Amino acid sequence: AGIKPDFLEQLYTFGNVGRDPRNRVVSVTYLGLVNPSYHELAADSDADDAQWFGINSLPELAFDHQTIIDTALKRLRTKIQYQPVGFNLLNEEFAFSELENLYKTIVGQEIDRRNFRKKIMSYGLLNETDNFKKEGSGRPGKMFTFNQKKYKELEEQGFYFELK
């Protein structure tokens, strides 16, 4: 699809007999994260078309590809508890609501806004900027950047960020 992921890691090797009725296939899969607003899709030589789909509105998938998607989503939901992979999907400067929406999308459920904000801010992972973003009819929200240095410090101490 002509995409270079912002984050990429090997996910799992799928090789069950019969996963593809045509012949024995072993697939080494990767978990990649991209911000779709930064990428233009282009069908490659093995596809007629390429499209973005929301995780909850995927078309019917061939073979065991839904299992692959489910495995990747499970890994991602676990991974965001100890590694800030989601920050790769945000602009360098972002509104807190964008971070909150990203986490809600990844975990697949609503999160308590006040507790989420309090917990994120308590770790010192965000740097507040002097910029504001106007959203809706409310007052403009502060913009933030990710504090990579602080994250590295927390990571060395055994950082674990659990959402409840």
CATH number of 115's domain: 1.10.10.10
| Domain finish residue from 78, 107, 133 | 78
Same domain, 134 and 119: yes
pLDDT(163) > 70: no
pLDDT(86) > 70: yes
| Domain finish residue from 63, 78, 93 | 78
Q: What's the pLDDT score for residue 68?
A: 97
Distance in angstroms (rounded) separating the CA atoms of residues 35 and 94: 13
Same domain, 90 and 149: yes
The pair of three-digit structure tokens given for residue 55, joined into one six-digit string: 């995780």
Q: What sections of the chain are H helices per DSSP?
A: 65-79, 96-107, 113-123, 148-157
**Selection from 31, 32, 146 nearest residue 91 by Cα:** 146
Same domain, 110 and 61: no
For residue 89, give its domain range: 83-157
Same domain, 71 and 44: yes
Max mean pLDDT range (1-5, 9-13, 50-54, 146-150): 9-13
pLDDT(93) > 80: yes
Confirm whether 162 is domain-assigned. no
pTM score over 0.95 = no
Same domain, 54 and 105: no
**Selection from 160, 161, 100 nearest residue 135 by Cα:** 100
pLDDT(147) > 80: yes
| Domain finish residue from 46, 63, 78 | 78
Distance in angstroms (rounded) separating the CA atoms of residues 71 and 54: 16
Taking all residues of the chain, what is their mean pLDDT, rounded to a whole number?
88
In this structure, is the dihedral angle defined by the CA atoms of residues 150, 75, 56 and 110, taken in order, positive or negative?
negative
Predicted confidence band at 100 (pLDDT cuts at 50, 70, 90)?
A: very high
The pair of three-digit structure tokens given for residue 61, joined into one six-digit string: 């998938």
Same domain, 62 and 113: no
